[in-house]
């Protein structure tokens, strides 16, 4: 295929396998969520491509893993630098391809993508060998690379989540195959250019594009794969886990969220309301957002009025404009899904506080929406919408708030606003992988990230990433001469 021209940015539609671009006899059409215009055709990963990528990674693994963390670090540092050199292209490309706010790409995503690579390259230096001394022996605990890693990322944050997984996987000494989201694959293709320019050896990093049902399914079912890291939906995760289970391949699964946003009676209502409006960013297509507002009944009216004031100031529009705060939903199918949730909820007796319909800016834009008068068993309370749609329920005391917060099958994140000691005590009782007290979105690469229940398996970040991407080995050296004996005395 010829190069695609996306608003003046040249990007390859082909796969990247064993250090070179590889075309396909089959392709699929890509459209921009901003205005539904076609962006071009993207190479579809067939069996020949998945097989070639896994073979290339296998072949590259002995030399890459033998380098050691200190020798891999300069190459990975250059990889981060090459991402930085292409910062403007990454920003504009993902905005057109995935509808992400251009301002968020510039100030948040691209700097974080660079950090994802560089930070883990540095952190790997501390994980080479860890001694444990016992009375009988010296134990040398090693973090050895596992082998071929398959990484599958979602369409709501392709660049950030790809580098979040690639950073520790590559730093640990693995060779990776990235399967980008079919609805937003372009920045992953540009990521291959950055890796190539940085001098990563052929086969160490590969990109195979395609659908989950075809390309992804082949990758996760291959017995040569040593690890699978996936961020996405629960139904897809179940299919991946089934395929991986047949080969006993460990999986890291970061899945959906239906996180509570708790507002206690002693909360700073204006601060909580301002933070609440942030839940609409990226058109609500953020897994860790607090989408279920649980508000103490004594402050519910005041909080609702305060949040309405912030929501009414939000600008819905083209994500490339600096003034835009809520952009498009990724795909017409996702728009239908979001609208269906709202319509069924209203038909079932829910009340719209605001929003509830497509936005007049364009076909893939939806009004920031809040629904109330809901039961805990309602579909929209229990299931992830993944759009700019929130729900509001009230409670009378802490026990009821916690029961509501824990009353879904999800457990990814959460937010709790209140007097610090009070909010912290409530937060500690919420069953979730992480929860922010009087804040939102504070992340540190050294801290664990992941969910419980249907929100996932495993943790990413810091040592936890390396625990997953490595084989942990204990080399045991006795302190005294060892004498073999069958005696039980």
The single residue of 82, 94, 254, 460 carrying the catalytic annotation is 254
The single residue of 91, 175, 188, 287 carrying the catalytic annotation is 287
User: Is residue 80 predicted with pLDDT exceeding 90?
Assistant: yes
- Same domain, yes or no, for 204 and 299? no
pLDDT averaged over the chain? Answer: 96
Q: How confident is the model at residue 127 (pLDDT cuts 50, 70, 90)?
A: confident
- Same domain, yes or no, for 469 and 391? no
CATH number for the domain spanning 183: value is: 3.40.605.10
Number of domains within the chain: 2
Q: Are strands 415-417 and 129-133 parallel, antiparallel or unpaired?
A: unpaired
- Same domain, yes or no, for 147 and 186? yes
- Same domain, yes or no, for 160 and 87? yes
- Same domain, yes or no, for 432 and 460? no
DSSP state of 282: G
Is residue 482 in some structural domain?
no
- Same domain, yes or no, for 111 and 175? yes
pLDDT the model gives residue 371: 98
Is residue 445 in some structural domain?
no
**Phi, psi of 287, deg, nearest 5:** -65, -30
User: Is residue 84 predicted with pLDDT exceeding 80?
Assistant: yes
CATH number for the domain spanning 307: value is: 3.40.309.10
Query: CB-based burial of residue 483 (10 Å sphere; 0-12 exposed, 13-18 middle, 19+ buried)?
Result: exposed
- Same domain, yes or no, for 264 and 244? no
Distance CA 407, CA 430 (A): 10
- Same domain, yes or no, for 269 and 171? no
Is residue 306 in some structural domain?
yes
Is residue 447 in some structural domain?
no
Examine the residue annotation and report whether 254 is marked as an active-site residue of this protein: yes
Q: How confident is the model at residue 488 (pLDDT cuts 50, 70, 90)?
A: low
Examine the residue annotation and report whether 182 is marked as an active-site residue of this protein: no
User: Is residue 369 predicted with pLDDT exceeding 80?
Assistant: yes
Is residue 444 in some structural domain?
no
Q: Identify any residues that bridge with 22 across adjacent strands, giving them in sequence order.
A: 15
Mean pLDDT of 113-119: 98
Is residue 480 in some structural domain?
no
- Same domain, yes or no, for 238 and 343? no
- Same domain, yes or no, for 121 and 147? yes
pLDDT tens per residue across span 98-110: 999 999 999 999 9
- Same domain, yes or no, for 268 and 219? no
Domain interval for residue 316: 259-437
pLDDT tens per residue across span 232-265: 999 999 999 999 999 999 999 999 999 999 999 9
Q: Are strands 129-133 and 137-145 parallel, antiparallel or unpaired?
A: antiparallel
pLDDT tens per residue across span 270-313: 999 999 999 999 999 999 999 999 999 999 999 999 999 999 99
Query: CB-based burial of residue 29 (10 Å sphere; 0-12 exposed, 13-18 middle, 19+ buried)?
Result: exposed
pLDDT tens per residue across span 323-363: 999 999 999 999 999 999 999 999 999 999 999 999 999 99
Is residue 443 in some structural domain?
no
Mean pLDDT of 371-392: 98
pTM of the predicted model, to two decimals?
A: 0.96
CB 249 within 8 A of CB 242: no
- Same domain, yes or no, for 250 and 303? no
Q: How confident is the model at residue 486 (pLDDT cuts 50, 70, 90)?
A: confident
DSSP state of 369: E
DSSP line for 106-159 = IIIIHHHHHHHHHHHHHHGGGGSEEEEE-SSEEEEEEEEE-SEEEEE--TTSHH
pLDDT the model gives residue 71: 97
């Amino acid at each position: 295929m010829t190069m695609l021209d996306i608003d003046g940015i040249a990007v390859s539609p082909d796969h990247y396998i064993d250090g070179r671009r590889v075309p396909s006899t089959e392709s699929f059409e890509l459209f921009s969520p901003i205005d539904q215009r076609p962006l071009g055709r993207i190479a579809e990963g067939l069996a020949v491509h998945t097989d070639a990528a896994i073979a290339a990674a296998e072949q590259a693994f002995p030399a890459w893993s033998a380098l050691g963390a200190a020798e891999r670090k300069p190459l990975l540092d250059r990889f981060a630098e090459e991402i930085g050199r292409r910062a403007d292209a990454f920003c504009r490309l993902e905005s057109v391809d995935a509808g992400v706010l251009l301002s968020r790409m510039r100030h948040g995503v691209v700097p974080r993508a660079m950090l994802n690579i560089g930070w883990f390259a540095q952190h790997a230096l501390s994980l080479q060998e860890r001694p444990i001394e016992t009375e009988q022996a010296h134990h040398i605990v090693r973090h050895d690379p596992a082998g071929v890693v398959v990484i599958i990322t979602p369409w709501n944050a392709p660049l950030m989540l790809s580098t979040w997984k690639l950073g520790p996987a590559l730093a640990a000494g693995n060779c990776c195959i990235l399967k980008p989201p079919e609805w937003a694959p372009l920045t992953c293709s540009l990521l291959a250019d950055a890796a190539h320019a940085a001098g990563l050896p052929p086969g160490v990093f590969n990109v195979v594009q395609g659908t989950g049902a075809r390309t992804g399914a082949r990758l996760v079912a291959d017995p040569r794969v040593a690890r699978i890291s996936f961020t996405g939906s629960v139904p897809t995760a179940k299919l991946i886990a089934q395929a991986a289970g047949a080969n006993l391949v460990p999986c890291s699964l970061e899945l959906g969220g239906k996180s509570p946003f708790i507002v206690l009676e002693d909360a700073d209502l204006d601060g909580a309301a301002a933070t609440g409006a942030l839940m609409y960013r990226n058109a609500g297509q953020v897994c860790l957002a607090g989408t279920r507002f649980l508000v103490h009944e004594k402050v519910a009216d005041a909080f609702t009025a305060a949040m309405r004031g912030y929501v009414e100031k939000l600008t819905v529009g083209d994500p490339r404009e600096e003034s835009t705060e809520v952009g498009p939903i990724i795909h017409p199918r996702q728009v239908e899904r979001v609208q269906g949730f709202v319509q069924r909820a209203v038909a079932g007796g829910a009340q719209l506080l605001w929003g509830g319909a497509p936005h007049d800016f364009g076909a893939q834009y939806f009004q920031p929406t809040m629904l109330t008068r809901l039961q805990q068993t309602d579909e929209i309370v229990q299931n992830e919408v993944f759009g700019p749609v929130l729900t509001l329920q009230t409670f009378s005391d802490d026990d009821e708030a916690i029961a509501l917060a824990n009353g879904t099958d999800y457990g990814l994140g959460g937010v709790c606003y209140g007097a610090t000691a009070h909010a912290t005590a409530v937060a500690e009782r919420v069953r979730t992988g992480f929860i922010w007290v009087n804040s939102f979105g504070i992340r540190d690469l050294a801290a664990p990230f992941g969910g419980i229940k249907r929100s996932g398996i495993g943790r990413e970040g810091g040592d936890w990433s390396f625990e997953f991407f490595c084989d942990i080995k204990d080399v045991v050296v006795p302190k005294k001469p060892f004498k073999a004996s069958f005696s039980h005395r």
